[in-house]
Chain A
Amino acid sequence: MAVAVSRQGTVAGYGMVAQDTVEAGELLFAVPRAALLSPNTCSISALLEREQSALQSQSGWVPLLLALLHELQAPASFWNPYFALWPDLGRLQHPMFWPEDERRRLLQGTGVPEAVEKDLVNIGSEFHSVVLPFMEAHPDLFSPRVRSLELYQQLVALVMAYSFQELLEEDDDEEKEPNSPLMVPAADILNHIANHNANLEFSAECLRMVATQPIPKGHEIFNTYGQMANWQLIHMYGFVEPYPGNTNDTADIQMVTVCEAALQGTKVEAERLLLKERWDFLCQLEMVGEEGAFVIGQEEVITEEELLTTLKVLCMPPEEFREFKDQAGWEDANRDEDGCLPVTDIPKFRASWRQLLRDSVLLTLETYATDLQTDQDLLANKEVHAKLSWREQQALQVRYGQKIILHHLLELTR
């Protein structure tokens, strides 16, 4: 057997360890389709299929959650051995289970409290409007002990952290309905790091966990959960990768913050009106939106087209804007190197762009409760750091990683 489940030598809880040296491309294990737990494979699949329109919701996760709720209370569920390996549902680490004030205080500015609050509202509303009525309508399939909002929330966190989804096709301009998540026993035991050495592949008869790098004997096998920033890891999975391990870490600059920074530079009403016109135009171009953010990675700007267009449109002289608006970008035939904006290009920007970006970063840094130095001090002082609670340590890593990226931008826009 090439792999073994272990609590030893893994980053957290259970993990998988290579029993022998593994080569890149080698099959680690395969999971037959019959082992998957999804609305289609569970023992109430016919009912869920029949009722699917009643089970529609914004999340799209209700059928899977009902499948889990049913199988958990079924005395002889096929998946009982799988459930035995689950983490303790009462001990999940996601911020959605932290006390509200702690979550807001520790993660202020990171985007996590807002995301969690939205989740909690949606979880509550879907439970009460769709899930509970369904369970009460089929009482023989859902014993009273599973008709619990608390359990539902725990299962949502479990689905966030353990489920899998096929990646969406990138061919279409339209956003396709995402495939619904499903549970893949064995595969979900693998932990994640940025520099992973395995991934899960789809094939007709089974799902295959394949090595993507050579793995020495005794080393942990790491799947990838995607190119995840620490704020997303803590939100969805309840853990972070400590600095500097997470090379996928990012910081967000809210799009409205850039507008605000530009607004700061206006002195008269006429200028403010013109700014509004430029902003509305960017909205029309679908480059910006009220809820959106520019995403900055460690080496490159992820949302490069949106940021470049925004800086250009907000900084161009009024006559140029009038012309630009009429021609709607017909002139920009010389877009070289589309799809890539390394942060090292930022010092080459014209002064007006650098200034606007800089002001936006400064406004963003103000949204955090503390500055970079404070977090740096906490990390540097081993004694103080060791006394922090697990949550405090994790939140520190989320804040710190984002602030490092933002401070780097400050240097690049000097």
Chain B
Amino acid sequence: MANVSQAQRTFCCGKHQRHKVTQYKKVKDSLYTQGKRRYGGKQSGYGGQTKPIFRKKAKPTKIMLRLECVEPNCRSKRMLAIKRCKHPELGGEKRKRAK
């Protein structure tokens, strides 16, 4: 399991700021939700998504984290990809080193 702390210091607003870290929630697999989630856009109709061809995922996907600057006037958000891991855990207990 990969542990990521819930508040991370990283660069923003010209200095190191605290950032709130959340795991970016993946859009569900459903083709349906791909459409309507993004304001009934192009997913149905002329130009929309048609019958799916599935790709088998050979390896676990990247984990996308969302960093949000806590500075109230900034609150800028950015995405950070961390290496693949099957079970990411936010703010879990630090694992003790094996002796």
Contact = CB atoms under 8 A, between A and B. Distances in A.
B44 A235 contact: yes
A229 B81 CA distance: 33
Interface string B24-65: 111111111111111111101111111111111000011010
Residue with the greatest number of chain A CB neighbours at <10 A, chosen from B36, B51, B64: B51
Contact of A339 (B28, B49, B53): B28
A166 B31 contact: no
B12 interface: no
A151 to B, nearest CB: 15
B6 interface: yes
Given A58-B47, A252-B36, A201 B53 contact: yes
B54 A199 contact: yes
Contacts of A173: 24, 64, 79
Interface residues on A, range: 35 or more
A159 B49 CA distance: 11
B72 interface: yes
A364 interface: no
B91 to A, nearest CB: 9
A375 interface: no
A291 B37 contact: no
Interface in A258-306: 289-293, 295, 302-303, 305-306
Contact of B50 (A171, A199, A236): A236
A167 B70 contact: no
Given A170-B26, A228-B32, A302-B30, A235 B79 contact: no
Interface string A226-248: 11110010011000000000001
Given A201-B54, A226-B31, A227-B30, A302 B72 contact: no
Contacts of B30: 226-227, 248, 302
A195 to B, nearest CB: 15
Contacts of A302: 28, 30, 32-33, 36-37
A330 B70 contact: yes
Interface of B is mostly: loop
A2 to B, nearest CB: 20
B46 A156 contact: yes
A248 B32 contact: yes
B55 A167 contact: yes
Contacts of B20: 330, 333
25 contacts: A58-B42, A61-B47, A118-B46, A119-B45, A122-B47, A163-B50, A163-B51, A164-B50, A164-B53, A165-B51, A170-B29, A181-B50, A201-B54, A224-B51, A224-B52, A226-B31, A226-B51, A227-B32, A229-B32, A291-B39, A293-B40, A302-B30, A330-B20, A333-B20, A338-B25
Interface of B: 6, 20, 24-42, 44-56, 61-62, 64, 68, 70, 72, 75, 79, 81
Interface of A: 58-61, 115-116, 118-119, 122-123, 156, 159-160, 162-168, 170-171, 173, 175, 178, 181, 184, 188, 199-202, 207, 223-229, 232, 235-236, 248, 250, 252, 289-293, 295, 302-303, 305-306, 326-328, 330, 333, 338-339
Top 8 closest pairs, chain A to chain B, by CB: A59-B47, A226-B31, A292-B39, A289-B39, A227-B30, A119-B46, A164-B51, A163-B50
